Structures are given as structure tokens and as C-alpha cells.
């Protein structure tokens, strides 16, 4: 048996394991004991989630749509058709009439090439990916307050914290090896505060649980800051030396007395005050947050408010203190880092900055567009309006993952031409004109960047299945045929180019990544990497207090739609289930979707546990089994979004944060009926 050490393809924890390969097939998994995060442990997806690699449903040849059906095609045919169509569209319309979706499942090298393809080959900044749907508000919010939109800590610091404030993160289910660190901290006596509309596993194990209303985060955090200032628990020295804008924060939060905060959030006043005391009295307090904070029309406000809380108490910029957005996908951090975003090149270098643009123009030997491109949801809107004519989607499945799927479907169908590159014929791929077979992480080399900014190797263990090709190879071949040559002999060579153009990755090369990677910023070949950010001073210099007032979610419950729907994931599946639903063990745990309803509400609705409920929003309806629980607030229901046959996103609304353009997956209004 051959063993190949690689990085897990599911969440952002960045665990390492060995793939055991026999007769060209992945047949076994061995967690790495010496890896700093895995430490010999994995979650169920890490242990069991890789059956999809050899699924008979894998795409192994390009497909071209003829009428309503696909036929198998050669690579030449597929490429020629794409080149013809893209050229036609570009001749007829403008460059910006084409857009690409990059992929947080793909490697850094592939994402880098995809944004280069959009910008240098197609001449458009219309490149985005699912970070828009998960942490766009983090990138903006933490960049505004701290100057850098990433997790400030290393994962292992969490186990050493004295206080961990978790808001909007079901950590043990969604980031299990970070959950591991929280559990270890609890064992060592750390106090954990959990704020979540659902009573998660950690909510049951923590010192203080706050069940706040979905979308009331700013009011809760402002209430805590109000109490901190009222009791003089703020860190005056830190505020004076390291921050600016404190007076405006003070002014804003003055209005959020515990009483007011309680009225908005439904959290008892004394709990708000207690949380404020616990968090601020420790000098080793860490904030962990995830989608519960970011996926709101107030996502950026929510993020900035967590940063305000950390700065107010001096709990950032030192070991065991910080603000930790947990990135969901294996490489969503990296896809952002290498510029698969419409407004920045790799390393968050703005496309609007002439000097930076010139740098890339010189390196890429091409003139680059100066205006930021469209964000993901905007692309779909433009498709429906007709200004966007073609899309090239790599490794994403918006037909399940994006809000308001009925709208997504109309938008994709309105396109003149759609190319989808994936490993399965997903719900999105079935709408494509051409489907290109990419490969799984086991079939290619590259790097993923984990949520703690750790750039790690992905190593090829088996040959690509059938005629499929590594995604980076496909992008280079397509680009070259479209007239912009891309010649790379290996992903290592692509990384060398990334390092040359990207200050935060400046010291990264494959030879340096052998022993479990490097944490950016790593500006030079002799730089050891950065375990935690903002030591001594913030990336932007002074930390900027950025106060926000509470704003209600975009869609509130009404007479016709009396429940708040909040969406999320279960620990056994990943996103749109294209991979995990091919695995017997994971599928056996959760074979389909369900709606979680407070037991009193269920009783009132007259729908019993296990019976079918119809859930209806202004945009669509789905039928699924009802799960009656006591772990969710009355008036709130939860649906996991993995399951196409009961797609939560048929119900959600594409209401966006005005700055980050992230949709409000966490709040929309629905009604329930007996199904």
C-alpha cells in the first residue's frame, strides 16, 4: 500500500491525513499524529468521507449538450466549442459579459489561475466564489477594523484561552478539530460563552448560554459593551495605545443598555451583563464566530462589532486573544488570498489601485480592467437582466448553495452559454452547455490554506479518473486556446508566481511547505510565518472602532409567514452534498433534509415528530420531515441546506449586505403547514 500525506478536502480546520492507495484506489485513511491540528484525530468526514473519489457517478469525459441531453465529447471538441462561444460573445458584447465562479474546494494554484484567466484572458474582473456566501462580511469587516480579514489566532491557541466566546458557530459539528480545542480548554477550566439561536452541543457544555434571536447579534454585542463600559471593565491602556474611534463607539453603545439589548435579543439582562463580565475580566479571551455572524444583511456590522468588543477589552494582538472567523471550506481562505474576488488581485491588492494593477499587468504582460467586477449574486442578477451572457463555473453548485434557487435557475437558464467544471454532474452542471470533468483532491498536487492561514500541501495520490484532468491544467489549456498562453509545468511553478506577486505569500515555496505548511503573512523566504496577527500593532496601524447600530433583518416574520427560518449544515454532510452524499456512512446518518421546530410550535401546528411538513416562503416551498426539538427558540425553525430534494435555498432570500453583498441565509420568513 502506498501512503500519501495530504490535506483534508472538507472544512477549514486543515487536518492532514495519509491516503492509503492500493491498485490505484484510495482504500484507507490514517490521520497524521505529528500534524499540529489533526494530532492523530479526525472528524467523521475526515475518516469516512472519501468514498466519492471512486464513485461510479464521477465525470470522466467532457460532455456537450445536444438538445436536452448530454453527449460525451473529446477535450478538443469541448474546448473548441467554448472558445467559439466565448469569442462570439466577446465580439458581440463587452468583456464584462462573461463571468467566472471560482471554487473554494479547489487549490490556491487553481484559484489563482482562475482569476488570472478572468482578468488576463477574458479581460474582466467578474470573478467571485462562495466566500461571498460565507465570509465576505469578515473580509470587509475585519479589514476595516484590523486591516486584515482573517482569523487572528492559530487554532492551537484556542486550547490555551481562559475565556472563549462563541457566537454563531456550531463549532464541534462544523469545525470539529477546533471544537476539540474548545473542549480541551473547558477541561482545563476555561469559561465558554455560547450565543446561538440553536442550543448546540457546546451550548450544553458551556458556562453560559445565550439564546439570542437570529439577526440580533449587534444588539447583543452592543449590550455587552455597554455593560463593560458601565462597569469600567474596558482596557483603557489598549484603547489609548492601539486604537482609534473609541468615543464614537462609546456614544453608540451608550444607547444599548442591558434592558434594551435584552428586549431586542430575548436574552435576559443579567446574562448579558454576566457575559460581558466573564469576557472582559480575562486577558486571555478569544471570540470565535462563523456563519451566524456573517450571513446577514448586517454581516459587516456584526463582524465589526465582534472586533469592537475584542479591542474594547484589549483581547486581540496577543497570544490566546483574538477574533476568529472560522472559514468553512477547505480552501475558502486561500481562494480569497489568491484573488478569486472581483475587487482584488492575490493578497487583497485592489484592482482599482493603479500601481498594483501595473505590477500585475507587467507580470502578466497584458492590459487589465480597472473596475471591480460583479459579485456572485450580482452575476446571477445580471444574467437575468441580460448584461451577462456566459458563465464558467468551476467546482460550485449554486443550484443548491445559493439563495433563492428558483431565481438562480432562471438566471442560469437565461445565459447564452454556460460551462461547468466539476467532478459530478451536479444540479448546476445539468444546466450547462459544456461540462468539463475536473478531478478530486486525491488526483492533483497543490495547496489549500486553512482557516488559521496555514498554507499546506495537497499531494496527488492517484491518477485522474478516465479522461478527467486536474482543474489547473484545464484552465491553462482553455486560456491558451483563447489566445492568452498559460504555460506551467506544475502547481509548484504556479505557487512561485503567486509568491512573486503576493506580499503575504512572498516567502512561500513548495520546498518550505513540506512540514505542515506556513501561516501567512510570510513575506520572505526567511520569514517563519505568523501564528497570530496584529502583534504590537494592527495591520492597518491603529485598530479602528467601527460602531454599528442594530438593524432588523431584511425579512421579518409576518402574519402570513410567522416563523424565522435559519439555515446551516449538519456535521455529517458538506455543502451541497455532491461528495458526502455518495458516502454510505454519512448518507446513513442523514439521508435527507429535515426541519427543526420547537416542540411547542410543532404541537401548535399539529405536526408530529417525523411527519412531513410543508415549509413555504415568499419564494418557494419544500416538503420535508419535521424534527421536534427543545433546542431551538419558539418561532424559529432550522433547515440544513445540503439536500437538493428539500433545498432550503428554495426558501431563502437573496437579500444582501450592502457592502459585502453576502446573502442573509440566517433569516427569512416562512410558514409551516402539514405536508
Partner 1 sequence: MKILSKSNLVPFLEGLGLEFKVNAPLYEGQDVLFGDLDSSKLATDFIGKPRLSPKEYSFPQRERLFTFKNNGGVEIEAHLNETKRVIWGIRPCDLYGLKFLDMVYLSDYVDPYYQARRSNTILLGLNCNKAEESCFCSSIGTGPFAREAFDLLFTDLGDVFLVEIGSKAGKKLIEKQANLFTNATSKDEKQAGILEEKSKKTFKTYIDLGKVEAKIAGASSSPVWAEEAAKCILCGGCNWVCPTCYCFNIEDVTSGDKTQRVRYWDSCQLGGFTQMAAMNSRATQAERLRQRIYHKFSYNPDKYGGEIGCTGCGRCIDVCPAGINIAYILRRVAN
Residue ranges in contact with partner 1 by CB under 8 A:
1, 3, 5, 18, 20, 27-34, 40-44, 46-48, 56, 172-173, 176-177, 179-180, 183-184, 187, 201, 204-205, 515, 571-572, 584-585, 588-589
Q: Which is nearer to partner 1, 367 or 515 (CB)?
A: 515
Q: Which is nearer to partner 1, 63 or 405 (CB)?
A: 63
Question: What minimum distance in Å lies between the beta carbon of 276 and partner 1?
Answer: 27
Q: Which is nearer to partner 1, 99 or 183 (CB)?
A: 183
**Nearest-10 crossing angle of helices 217-230, 269-281:** 70
Question: What minimum distance in Å lies between the beta carbon of 591 and partner 1?
Answer: 9
Sheet holding 285-289, edge to edge: 208-210, 191-195, 163-167, 285-289, 322-325
521: preceding bond cis by omega (within 30 degrees): yes
Rounded Cα–Cα distance for residues 279 and 631 (Å)? 24
Q: Which is nearer to partner 1, 462 or 668 (CB)?
A: 462
Question: What minimum distance in Å lies between the beta carbon of 25 and partner 1?
Answer: 9
Chain position carrying cell 411538513: 613
Question: What minimum distance in Å lies between the beta carbon of 167 and partner 1?
Answer: 20
Strands 344-345 and 349-350: antiparallel
List the one residue out of 449, 592, 384 whose CA is nearest residue 131. 449
Q: Is 457 helix (H, G, I), strand (E, B) or coil?
A: strand
Query: CB of 603 within 8 A of CB of 668?
Result: no
Q: Which is nearer to partner 1, 8 or 651 (CB)?
A: 8
- Would you call 189 exposed, middle or buried from its count of C-beta atoms within 10 A (0-12, 13-18, 19+)? exposed
Rounded Cα–Cα distance for residues 72 and 63 (Å)? 5
Rounded Cα–Cα distance for residues 179 and 568 (Å)? 17
Query: CB of 148 within 8 A of CB of 533?
Result: yes
Q: Give the three cell numbers for residue 274.
A: 454576566
Question: What minimum distance in Å lies between the beta carbon of 552 and partner 1?
Answer: 35
Rounded Cα–Cα distance for residues 483 and 486 (Å)? 9
Q: Which is nearer to partner 1, 186 or 659 (CB)?
A: 186
Question: What minimum distance in Å lies between the beta carbon of 499 and partner 1?
Answer: 24
Question: What minimum distance in Å lies between the beta carbon of 450 and partner 1?
Answer: 16
Query: CB of 99 within 8 A of CB of 414?
Result: no
Question: What minimum distance in Å lies between the beta carbon of 33 and partner 1?
Answer: 5
Question: What minimum distance in Å lies between the beta carbon of 8 and partner 1?
Answer: 12
Chain position carrying cell 419535521: 626
Query: CB of 572 within 8 A of CB of 590?
Result: yes
- Would you call 89 exposed, middle or buried from its count of C-beta atoms within 10 A (0-12, 13-18, 19+)? buried
Containing H/E element for 241? helix 236-242
List the one residue out of 367, 417, 410, 420 whose CA is nearest residue 388. 417
Query: CB of 533 within 8 A of CB of 136?
Result: no
Question: What minimum distance in Å lies between the beta carbon of 184 and partner 1?
Answer: 6
Question: What minimum distance in Å lies between the beta carbon of 568 and partner 1?
Answer: 16
Q: Which is nearer to partner 1, 47 or 510 (CB)?
A: 47
Per DSSP, helices labelled H in 268-386 are 269-281, 291-294, 299-312, 332-337, 354-364, 376-385
Q: Which is nearer to partner 1, 515 or 537 (CB)?
A: 515
Q: Which is nearer to partner 1, 20 or 675 (CB)?
A: 20
Question: What minimum distance in Å lies between the beta carbon of 429 and partner 1?
Answer: 20
Q: Which is nearer to partner 1, 273 or 461 (CB)?
A: 461
Q: Which is nearer to partner 1, 43 or 163 (CB)?
A: 43
Chain position carrying cell 503567486: 498
Question: What minimum distance in Å lies between the beta carbon of 447 and partner 1?
Answer: 17
List the one residue out of 649, 421, 501, 594 whose CA is nearest residue 120. 501
Q: Which is nearer to partner 1, 33 or 556 (CB)?
A: 33
Query: CB of 60 within 8 A of CB of 465?
Result: yes
Q: Which is nearer to partner 1, 85 or 582 (CB)?
A: 582
Who contacts 243 (Cβ-Cβ below 8 Å, separation ≥6)? 311, 542, 543, 544, 545
**How far, in Å, are 334, 448, 547 from residue 103 at the CA level?**
10, 12, 33
Amino acid at each position: 500500500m502506498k501512503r500519501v500525506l495530504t490535506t483534508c478536502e472538507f472544512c477549514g480546520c486543515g487536518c492532514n491525513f495519509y491516503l492509503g492507495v492500493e491498485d490505484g484506489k484510495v482504500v484507507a485513511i490514517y490521520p497524521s499524529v505529528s500534524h499540529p491540528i489533526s494530532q492523530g484525530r479526525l472528524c467523521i468526514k475526515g475518516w469516512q468521507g472519501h468514498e466519492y473519489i471512486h464513485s461510479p457517478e464521477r465525470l470522466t469525459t467532457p460532455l456537450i449538450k445536444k438538445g436536452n441531453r448530454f453527449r460525451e465529447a473529446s477535450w478538443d471538441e469541448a474546448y473548441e466549442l467554448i472558445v467559439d462561444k466565448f469569442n462570439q460573445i466577446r465580439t458581440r458584447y463587452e468583456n464584462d459579459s462573461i463571468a467566472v465562479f471560482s471554487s473554494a474546494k479547489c487549490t490556491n494554484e487553481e484559484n489563482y489561475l482562475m482569476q488570472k484567466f478572468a482578468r488576463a484572458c477574458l479581460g474582466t474582473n467578474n470573478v467571485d466564489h462562495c466566500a461571498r456566501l460565507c465570509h465576505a462580511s469578515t473580509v470587509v469587516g475585519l479589514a476595516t477594523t484590523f486591516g486584515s480579514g482573517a482569523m487572528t489566532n492559530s487554532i492551537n491557541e484556542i486550547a490555551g484561552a481562559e475565556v472563549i466566546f462563541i457566537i454563531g458557530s456550531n463549532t464541534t459539528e462544523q469545525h470539529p478539530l477546533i471544537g476539540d480545542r474548545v473542549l480541551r480548554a473547558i477541561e482545563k477550566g476555561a469559561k465558554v460563552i455560547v450565543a446561538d439561536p440553536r442550543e448546540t452541543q457546546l451550548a450544553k457544555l458551556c458556562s453560559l448560554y445565550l439564546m439570542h434571536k437570529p439577526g440580533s447579534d449587534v444588539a447583543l454585542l452592543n449590550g455587552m459593551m455597554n455593560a463593560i463600559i458601565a462597569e469600567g471593565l474596558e482596557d483603557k491602556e489598549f484603547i489609548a495605545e492601539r486604537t482609534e474611534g473609541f468615543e464614537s463607539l462609546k456614544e453608540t453603545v451608550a444607547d444599548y443598555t442591558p434592558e434594551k439589548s435584552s428586549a431586542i435579543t430575548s436574552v435576559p439582562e443579567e446574562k448579558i451583563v454576566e457575559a460581558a463580565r466573564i469576557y472582559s475580566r480575562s486577558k486571555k479571551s478569544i471570540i470565535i464566530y462563523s456563519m451566524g455572524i456573517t450571513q446577514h444583511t448586517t454581516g459587516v456590522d456584526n463582524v465589526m462589532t465582534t472586533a469592537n468588543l475584542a479591542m474594547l477589552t484589549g483581547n486581540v494582538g496577543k497570544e490566546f486573544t483574538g477574533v476568529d472567523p472560522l472559514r468553512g471550506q477547505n480552501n475558502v481562505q486561500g481562494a480569497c488570498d489568491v484573488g478569486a474576488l472581483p475587487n482584488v488581485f492575490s493578497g487583497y491588492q485592489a484592482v482599482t489601485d493603479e500601481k498594483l494593477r501595473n505590477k500585475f499587468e507587467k507580470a502578466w504582460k497584458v492590459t487589465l480592467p480597472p473596475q471591480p467586477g460583479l459579485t456572485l449574486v450580482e452575476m446571477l442578477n445580471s444574467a437575468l437582466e441580460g448584461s451577462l451572457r456566459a458563465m464558467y463555473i468551476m467546482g460550485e453548485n449554486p443550484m443548491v448553495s445559493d439563495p433563492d434557487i428558483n431565481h438562480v435557475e432562471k438566471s442560469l437558464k437565461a445565459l447564452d452559454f454556460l460551462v461547468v467544471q466539476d467532478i459530478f454532474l451536479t444540479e448546476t452542471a445539468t444546466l450547462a452547455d459544456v461540462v468539463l470533468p475536473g478531478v478530486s483532491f486525491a488526483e492533483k498536487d497543490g495547496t489549500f490554506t486553512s482557516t488559521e492561514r496555514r498554507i499546506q500541501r495537497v499531494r496527488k495520490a492517484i491518477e485522474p479518473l478516465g479522461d478527467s484532468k486536474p482543474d489547473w491544467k484545464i484552465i491553462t489549456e482553455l486560456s491558451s486556446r483563447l489566445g492568452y498562453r498559460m504555460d506551467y509545468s506544475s502547481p509548484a511553478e504556479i505557487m512561485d508566481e503567486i509568491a512573486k506577486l503576493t506580499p503575504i505569500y512572498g516567502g512561500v515555496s513548495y520546498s518550505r511547505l513540506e512540514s505542515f505548511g506556513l501561516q501567512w503573512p510570510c513575506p520572505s523566504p526567511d520569514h517563519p510565518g505568523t501564528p497570530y496577527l496584529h502583534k504590537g500593532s494592527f495591520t492597518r496601524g491603529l485598530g479602528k472602532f467601527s460602531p454599528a447600530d442594530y438593524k432588523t433583518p431584511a425579512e421579518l416574520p409576518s402574519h402570513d409567514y410567522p416563523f424565522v427560518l435559519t439555515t446551516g449544515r449538519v456535521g455529517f454532510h458538506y455543502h451541497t452534498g455532491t461528495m458526502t452524499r455518495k458516502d454510505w456512512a454519512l448518507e446513513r446518518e442523514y439521508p435527507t433534509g429535515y426541519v427543526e421546530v420547537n416542540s411547542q410550535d410543532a404541537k401548535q401546528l399539529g405536526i408530529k415528530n417525523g411527519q412531513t411538513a410543508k415549509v413555504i416562503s415568499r419564494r418557494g416551498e419544500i416538503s420535508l420531515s419535521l424534527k421536534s426539538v427543545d433546542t431551538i427558540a419558539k418561532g424559529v425553525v432550522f433547515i440544513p441546506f445540503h439536500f437538493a430534494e428539500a433545498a432550503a435555498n428554495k426558501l431563502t432570500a437573496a437579500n444582501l449586505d450592502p457592502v459585502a453583498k453576502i446573502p442573509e441565509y440566517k433569516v427569512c420568513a416562512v410558514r409551516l403547514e402539514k405536508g
